[in-house]
Amino acid sequence: MNSMTLLRSAALTITVATSLAMPATASKGDLSYIDQAVLSVCMEASQDDAFGLVKTLKAYRISKDNAVKKVVCNSQTLMDFARTEQAHKVVKLLAPVERRVNGNVTIKDVDAPL
- Strands 76-77 vs 72-73: parallel, antiparallel or unpaired: antiparallel
pTM: 0.64
Please, are residues 7 and 44 in contact by the beta-carbon 8 Å criterion?
A: no
CB atoms within 10 A of CB 4: 8
The identity of residue 28, as a single letter, is K
Cα distance between residue 77 and residue 23, in whole Å: 29
d(CA 47, CA 85): 8
Over the stretch 24-74, which tens digit does the pLDDT of each residue have?
A: 455 556 889 999 999 999 999 999 999 999 999 999 999 999 999 999 999
The string of pLDDT tens digits covering residues 1-25 is: 555 443 344 333 343 333 444 444 5
